[in-house]
Structure 1
Amino acid sequence: MKLLAIDCAANLCAACVYDATAKQELGHQVLDLGKGHAEQLMAVIAEALEASATDYAGLGAIAVSVGPGSFTGLRVGVSTARGLALALKIPAIGVTTLEALAAEAAAAFPGRAVLAALDAGREEIHAAFYDERLVLTYGPAAATLADVVAMAKETSPVLAGTAAALISASARLAAAKGAGERPKPLYMRGADAKPQAGFILSRQER
């Protein structure tokens, strides 16, 4: 069976044709866009099909990245996959970004647990933990960096994803520092929020 995979979860607008029977990629096309997935995706798919010498009629399924990722990119990718699947009367299959990262890491480091993690910004990590058999045991979930670092220190998994370097660095620093004072926020400037003068009540004399 030939499968068309679509990924618009992040900056990339990508499509790949994969032969599930032969277990090999037949052709792909990737654009690093940042934005504009809706305008480019169908052309990217057409080029992937051409590179693989396959047409829509030769497909047996559509796979699509369902996130975490860019809201707009995910919407474009998922709606396109569902539309194509409906028109071709074939299944549409969702795959999370974290699953894909974990599978890639597990192939490179067989027999190791995997922590797939994406830096979501605003001090938030999107993470999922997979055991040595690639069975999901945690997540997908939004977590703090401290929580994910603690998980990494406890299990020593393979780290995969955009937050991997951040987690690894934090874990190394924490190990070097050891136990000490309780962590406190490091504020580099004062709070933005200040009382509004018009709402300050005058002190009543008694």
Structure 2
Amino acid sequence: MSCILHIETSTAVCSVAVSEEGQSIFVKEDFQGPSHAVSLGVFVDEALSFVDNHAMLLDAVAVSCGPGSYTGLRIGVSMAKGVCYGRNIPLIGIPTLEVLSVPVLLYQELPDDALLCPMIDARRMEVYAAVYDRSLVVKRKTLADIVDENTYLEYLDKHPVYFFGNGATKCRDKITHPNAHFIDNIYPLAKMMFPLAEKAVANRDYKDVAYFEPFYLKEFVATQPKKLL
């Protein structure tokens, strides 16, 4: 197991956590944002002081890498890179929609054939969403969806599908299939990143600190129709 600093800034919530031996041991969260430019530096300084004061060796930094807020992701990734450079430790990038799924998998009772559809609000009736099974195997990659009653029928006709995240609330009136279930108050939080980060460490799945960017800023946006940007 490793000691990892986690940074999550993809939505209006700003959060920082430290995990060691697979357990969250330090957490700071601000739900009053977006206030990443003000809060993140303070939270990271407190987290690093906590690590140093307890004579722990920080092994890596994990950062949520999108999709999400353009500004929030830039701030979070810049901070993560700075810590990695300063301490000469590796960088881990965790997809935001996977981070959103962790509390659902940990704390919700789901049927064996359930599918998860985390959603990040993209304004109007648009969301960034993906579809996973209970093992977080991708059943449909992240896309920008314009949501109507037919958007997820191919999954809803065969499985119970659980929708959550800050983009899900506005979809309740559109997605009325009997297999559609909505879970409220699910946020991407740093303290939920550690299972995914530990897996990345075990697989040595690290990012190039010099060139890493949130995929929302590069690969994802570059492939979307201009009207969604």
TM-score range, shorter chain: 0.7 to 0.9
Letter in 1 for 2:156: K
TM-score by length of 1: 0.73
- Match of 2:129, SS state, is strand
Could you tell me whether the CA contact under 8 Å between 2:128 and 2:142 is conserved in 1? yes
**Is 1:81 the equivalent of 2:80?**
yes
Check the 8 A contact 1:64/1:77 in 2, yes or no. yes
- Give the structure with the larger helix fraction: 1
**What is the CA–CA distance in structure 1 between the aligned matches of 2:171 and 2:37, rounded to whole Å?**
33
**Deviation, structure 1 residue 49:** 4.2
Measured against aligned partners, the alpha-carbon deviations of 1:124-149 in whole angstroms (never above 9, x if no partner) come to: 11101002322012121101112544
In 2, Cα distance between equivalents of 1:117 and 1:40:
25
Shift of 1:91: 1.1
SS of corresponding position for 1:10:
coil
CA 1:123 to 1:165, structure 2 compared with 1: closer, same or farther past 3 Å?
closer
Aligned to 1:55: 52
Q: Specify whether residues 37 and 132 from structure 1 end up closer, same or farther in structure 2 by C-alpha distance, changes over 3 A only.
A: closer
Q: Could you give the per-residue CA deviations for residues 13-62 of structure 1, whole angstroms, max 9, x where no partner exists?
A: 2100011x2x2110111123434422331211123345xx4129621110
Structure 2 length normalisation: TM-score? 0.66
Cα displacement string for residues 74-111 of structure 1 (whole angstroms, at most 9, x for unaligned residues): 10100110121122111111112101112222223354
The share of aligned pairs that are identical, in percent, is 31
Deviations 1:160-182 (A, max 9, x none): 2123333344232x66xxxxxxx
- Cα 1:39–1:81 change in 2 (3 A) is same
Structure 1 residue aligned with 2:100: 101
Distance 1:136 1:30 in 2: 29
Residues 12 and 32 in structure 2, CA contact (< 8 A), matched pair in contact too: yes
Q: Is the 8 A contact 1:113 1:134 kept in 2?
A: no
Q: Aligned to 2:66, what secondary structure does the other structure show?
A: coil
Report which of the two structures shows the higher radius of gyration computed on alpha carbons: 1
Give the distance between the partners of 2:48 and 2:100, measured in 1 at CA: 24
Q: Which residue of 2 aligns with 1:12?
A: 13
Q: Which amino acid aligns with 1:119?
A: D
Q: Does the C-alpha gap of structure 1 residues 90 and 151 become closer, same or farther in structure 2, counting only changes over 3 Å?
A: farther
Question: In structure 2, what residue type is equivalent to 1:5?
Answer: H
State the partner residue of 2:128. Answer: 126
Q: Distance in 2 between matches of 1:41 and 1:159?
A: 28
The runs of 5 or more residues in structure 1 that have no matched partner are: 176-206
Contact 1:114 1:132 in 2 (8 A): yes
In structure 2, the partner of 1:30 is 29
2:166 corresponds to which residue? 162
Give every structure 1 segment of 4 or more consecutive aligned residues whose post-TM-superposition deviation is greater than 3 Å: 165-169
Q: What does 1:117-196 correspond to in 2, within 5 Å?
A: 117-146=119-148, 147-151=150-154, 153-154=156-157, 155-172=159-176
Q: Secondary structure at the match of 1:76?
A: helix
Unaligned residue ranges in structure 2 (runs of 5+): 179-229
2:117 aligned residue (115, 118, 130): 115
Compared CA separation, residues 156 and 169, structure 1 to 2 (3 A): farther
In the comparison of the two structures, how many residue pairs are matched? Answer: 170
How large is the RMSD of aligned CA atoms in angstroms? 2.3
